[in-house]
Amino acid sequence: MIVTMSDLSEKLSIVAPLYRGAFAVADTMGRPLRDLRISVTDRCNLRCTYCMPRAVFDENHSFLPRAELLSFEEIERLAKQFVLLGVQKIRLTGGEPLLRRGIEQLVERLARLQTTAGTPVEIALTTNGVLLAKKAQALKDAGLARITISLDGFSEVTFRRMSDSEVPVQTVLDGIAEAQRVGLAPVKVNMVVRRGVNDHEIVAMAGNFRNSGMVLRFIEYMDVGCSNGWRMDEVVPAREILEHVAARYPLRPVDPNYAGEVAERWLYADGGGEIGVIASVTQAFCHECTRARLSTDGHLYTCLFATGGLDLREPLRAGMMEDQLAELIEACWQRRNDRYSQQRQAMAGTGAAVKKIEMSYIGG
């Protein structure tokens, strides 16, 4: 039997990714590639002050034209390569992902993927909740496993101040309730805490979500992008947040759900549920970070605070084979040495300005 070069190339294109997927792809610090965040749009229907401040993202702001966005087919093709390299969880973000028309169709495509161990890839989504009441059932039916909703204030005044919008807070609360009703459980609610803006509602938020079956997580205000005017004195440290909650509702620590979990978990001592704190400023967890990020227009970023990314859309649209795309991704991850949060304090002392990618472009 004569084996031609074309036969060999075809066999290698099938075998190489399968062979590669049997091993953990690790970066320069030994961190495996396990999580992929995909931003499906750079648009949002809120103007949260820490993410898309209206002074920058106003009516004159130029969002990406539709032709530059990855199609669902392109997202699926790239996602398959990430999964072959070890990704076990995919989270859809934005912007606001529910603004992407037909988002449930993308969920359905991705929910069919399986890890190299043969288990389903977990598909999650982060949303501001404005459109969630109308979309929750369709997302669940499509195969969405988990959902996280951003809610930065419980009162009308605080919510509108944080979101810089006229959307009633009840709209988001209704979306949260609907997500829980359709079975997207446990629902997680994220509150970014900013000193002097919404920190007075920490305990009110805790009280509202106690005994609800949902998990409330408090997030330290971060210096993402370059447009939110971040200052260290506006950060409320995780320890302080926990002190506020524990003074009203005693807490006890609990072990992480899995290695590398970013949220530190705490249970109410009386059995009222769970809260978490994400201390990415005061307690950096770069050494455990396993996340890659795919931007709306197909660039791969290996850190939330990245200054640049690898263009995967161009080779994808030029017809590059799947195994070659996987090699690009693998090589990029193997070069990764990001640890921005660990270096933040040292960098702050130099006065050097770092031009970081905006969070609305690559997702939170």
Q: Are strands 299-301 and 291-294 parallel, antiparallel or unpaired?
A: antiparallel
More reliable by pLDDT, 360 or 149? 149
- 181 φ, ψ to 5°? -60, -40
- Give the neighbor-by-neighbor strand order of the sheet with 188-193: 251-253, 264-268, 274-278, 215-220, 188-193, 146-150, 122-127, 89-93, 35-39, 291-294, 299-301, 310-311
Q: What is the mean pLDDT of residues 38-45?
A: 95
**Average pLDDT in the chain:** 88
Residue 49's pLDDT is 87
Q: How confident is the model at residue 342 (pLDDT cuts 50, 70, 90)?
A: low
Average pLDDT over residues 54-60: 86
Task: Compare 273 and 14 and report the one with higher pLDDT.
Answer: 273
Instruction: Evaluate if residue 160 carries a pLDDT over 50.
Output: yes
Q: What is the pLDDT of residue 220?
A: 93
Closest CA to 188 of 142, 223, 150: 150
What domains are defined for the chain? 20-362 (3.20.20.70)
Closest to 241 (Cα-Cα) out of 281, 193, 289: 193
Say what the pLDDT of residue 23 is.
57
Of 158 and 280, which is predicted with more confidence? 158
15 — pLDDT class (breaks 50, 70, 90): very low
Residue type, 314: E
Residues 336, 31 contacting (CB under 8 angstroms):
yes
pLDDT score of 22 more than 70: no
Q: What local confidence, expressed as pLDDT, does residue 351 receive?
A: 45
Angle between helix axes 322-334 and 72-84 (nearest 10 degrees) is 60
**For range 241-258, the mean pLDDT:** 94
Q: How confident is the model at residue 303 (pLDDT cuts 50, 70, 90)?
A: confident
* Local confidence band at 307 (pLDDT 50, 70, 90 cut-offs): confident
Please list the alpha-helical segments (H only) found in the chain.
5-21, 72-84, 103-110, 132-142, 156-163, 169-182, 202-209, 238-248, 313-317, 322-334, 340-348, 359-362
The pLDDT of 46-71, averaged and rounded, is 90
pLDDT score of 347: 56
> Would you say the pTM of this structure is higher than 0.85?
yes
Residue 196 burial (CB < 10 Å; 0-12/13-18/19+)?
Answer: exposed
**C-alpha closest to that of 87 among 306, 259, 291:** 291
Per-residue pLDDT band at 283 (split at 50, 70, 90) = confident
**How confident is the model at residue 2, as a pLDDT?**
34
Is pLDDT of 188 > 70? Answer: yes
For residues 135 and 17, is the Cβ–Cβ distance under 8 A? no
Q: Mean pLDDT over residues 1-20, rounded?
A: 38
Mean pLDDT of 187-210: 96
